[in-house]
Structure 1
Amino acid sequence: MISEHDDTTEDRRWKFYCCGFSNIILHSCELTGWTNSFDGNQYLNVPSGYVITGVISEHSNYYEDRRYKYNLCKVDKVCPTCTCPTCTCPKCTCPACPACATCPTSTTSSPPPQREPVIEIHD
């Protein structure tokens, strides 16, 4: 992601690069708190294994600035052959295996449902 500042409008225009992936699930999504204060530096450390799936901003006419929150989601691989270890199927080897939830004697909870990415940027 990159940004350019416009001195005339005293605002910033952002560009995000979006990617698509196969054989992954996004779960445990959370919205951060504000990552900056008005007229302050922005700090965001995306933990390993997480991705940014959305941005929310709030503009202040008083400060002529924005502050930001980010939606972060954990990324896990989905193995195409994973199944439940307590079934007659092969052993489940993925930490977030949807097939484990369909196993009749499974003791593994199903992963949280995938949420649509939240992208909301206000100019």
Structure 2
Amino acid sequence: MNRTLDPAAALHWLASRLDRPQWSLADTVVSGQLGERAARARRFDTGLTVALTLDRPPRQAAGACLLLAATPEARDDALYLSGDRLWLLRRYPVALTEVELDLLFKQQQAMAALLAARERAAPIPLPIAGRYA
């Protein structure tokens, strides 16, 4: 059944996907683990917000911000630094169907994977100075 979820129901939907969800602030905030990522979510009257940790050191935040700004699908996303961890925050609309919430959440997870730091290839050596005949 594809029912419409309000922010409270969306928060419970997310909590059911977290490992060991921890509730606080009168059931308006939930945190836990989503695989290897930490996750936090909070419901507001204007919708749900979900934050996922990024596998990127804080010193690389500028590059992540540029990549996020260059991605049209990320218009409702932001990065923030808490302690020494980068988080990808997404604002969700007030009313969503379960299918829409699932798709948007998977998109946020894909965005977090895209923003993860990658090992750079070794630099290509420059040609030896000299004459080319």
TM over 0.5, yes or no?
no
Give the structure-2-normalised TM-score. 0.28
